[in-house]
Structure 1
Amino acid sequence: MNDSPEKISFAGRVRNNFLTGLIICAPLAITIWLTFTFIDWADSWVTPYVPQRYNPESYFNIAIPGTGLLIAVVFITLVGFLGRNLIGRSVVSFGESILQRMPLVRTIYKSLKQIFETVLREQSTSFKKCGLIEFPSPGSWALVFIAGDAQGEIAAKLNKDGEEMVAVFLPPTPVPTAGFLMFVPRSKIVPLDMTPEEGAKLLISGGLISPDYKPKQIEGPETAISNATEQPAVSQP
């Protein structure tokens, strides 16, 4: 008896083709839409402050997407270049001294500056590792991003029993833009090999997209003996 594959109806083939096309087109369309939305947002903030004689749109009589974003990138890069020399640092210090005299503004400025310095510092180790902790109850595990060792007053108050405390960020699913800052003993964290990008994909997908994992093979005595027996014997002359 010949085993023939199950025939798929015409409606089933149309549905499968539609789902395949949706998987291909949806991420591409959403990426393009988000990109142009960000470009338009940047243009709407920067372009109104550009003088007409320096605005390319005044010469071509058409809107050129990305003009404001390009000007912003050039301006920020120029400010960074000037801020690295002596004169630029003096100007920045003078401006910060003015902000330090404003009660509400100085708090906002110091907090934002500390956040940007921590996130954008080239040698920062923030959120370069993922781990698991038992949350919200024993036996239940949650994915966290490891920020670093507890420091300052928190370390002095919590590291009393010789157990080092680690700061971790516990984000929600599926939008990991907010969450909980927790201080957990180092021994209670199960480190993971996945990158923070892979961990973010796992959170955003609600556990549907799991990164590939290849267990590390540790060569023990049995493995060494097996490898030795598998090697071909050398014939004696």
Structure 2
Amino acid sequence: MKKYIIAGLLAWLPLAITVWVLRWVINLLESVFDVLVQGAAAILPLSTHDVLHQLVEIPGVGVAILLSLLLLTGIFVTNFVGQWSLRQWDALVSRIPIVKSIYTSVKQVSDTLFSSSGQAFREAVLVPYPHAGSLTIAFVTGRPSGTVAEHLDGEYVSLYVPTTPNPTSGFFLMMRRADVIPLAMSVDEALKYIISMGVVAPTAEGLASAPQTTRPAGL
């Protein structure tokens, strides 16, 4: 009986987790939409409040409106006028005390992570961590710069070493490029490998590393 229960669990678990994640995302979008509706109700005439409350009651309307808003915003900010408007908005927010520190920091991180021209999380590598006798998968996030780079002798790279099975926490490291082993593995494959604690192994091609000359001495 135990064997059959486990087999049934394995059959339903992927679907159950998928549904749970989708429900979490939808509930999050609906919550954001509720906040926007409440803000709109505070500035719009009372005659519009009934319509706003009816929109909130219709399932899926909030998700559809927010996705449409994101799409239209993306189209707007990718043209000349939108980019100019975005720069003016950034300049305005950057003049507000306290707010500018939070906004600027979040914007720098989000631009680095999600920009199509950025290089963050574009390369999976092997690094000697937590000691020289072991290896783990890390992601190249860039190169040290500023006053940090002035104290480094040679070529270094910035790395993010995620924890398992939760890759949203981890460690930031700076290592010599010569001590980093490039992997012919996509970021998605590497994340699956990390989250599954090594159970979901990538393809043989994905595990192929760079030439032996790039391996750190002693490994």
Q: TM-score when scaled to structure 1?
A: 0.72
The C-alpha deviation readout for 1:60-88, integer Å capped at 9, x for no partner, is x9641x32122112122223333344554
Counterpart for residue 93 of structure 2: 99
CA–CA separation in structure 2 for the residues paired with 1:184 and 1:72: 41
The C-alpha deviation readout for 1:69-125, integer Å capped at 9, x for no partner, is 221121222233333445544443333233222221111111111111112211322
Q: Give the alignment's Cα RMSD to 1 decimal.
A: 2.5
CA–CA separation in structure 2 for the residues paired with 1:92 and 1:62: 33
Aligned residues: 197
CA–CA separation in structure 2 for the residues paired with 1:197 and 1:38: 20
Q: Is the 8 A contact 1:47 1:67 kept in 2?
A: no
1:58 counterpart = 2:58 = no
The C-alpha deviation readout for 1:33-67, integer Å capped at 9, x for no partner, is 21012102211220353465665x838x9641x32
CA–CA separation in structure 2 for the residues paired with 1:16 and 1:183: 47
1:146 counterpart = 2:137 = no
Counterpart for residue 206 of structure 1: 197
The C-alpha deviation readout for 1:1-41, integer Å capped at 9, x for no partner, is xxxxxxxxxxxxx3333222211111101111210121022
- Greater C-alpha Rg: 1
CA–CA separation in structure 1 for the residues paired with 2:143 and 2:161: 15
Q: TM-score when scaled to structure 2?
A: 0.78
Which of 30, 55, 64 is residue 43 of structure 1 equivalent to?
A: 30
- Structure 2, unmatched stretches of 5+, are 38-47, 209-219
- Taking a change above 3 Å as real, the CA distance of residues 133 and 33 of structure 1, as seen in their structure-2 partners, is same
Higher relative contact order (CA 8 A, sep 6+): 2
Map of 1:77-156 to 2, 5 A cutoff?
Answer: 77-156=71-150
Counterpart for residue 30 of structure 1: 17
Structure 2 counterpart of 1:205, one-letter code: S
Counterpart for residue 177 of structure 2: 186
- Name the stretch that deviates more: 96-105 or 185-194: 96-105
What is the identity percentage for the equivalent residue pairs of Structure 1 and Structure 2? 28
CA–CA separation in structure 1 for the residues paired with 2:4 and 2:182: 41
Counterpart for residue 9 of structure 1: none
CA–CA separation in structure 2 for the residues paired with 1:83 and 1:102: 22
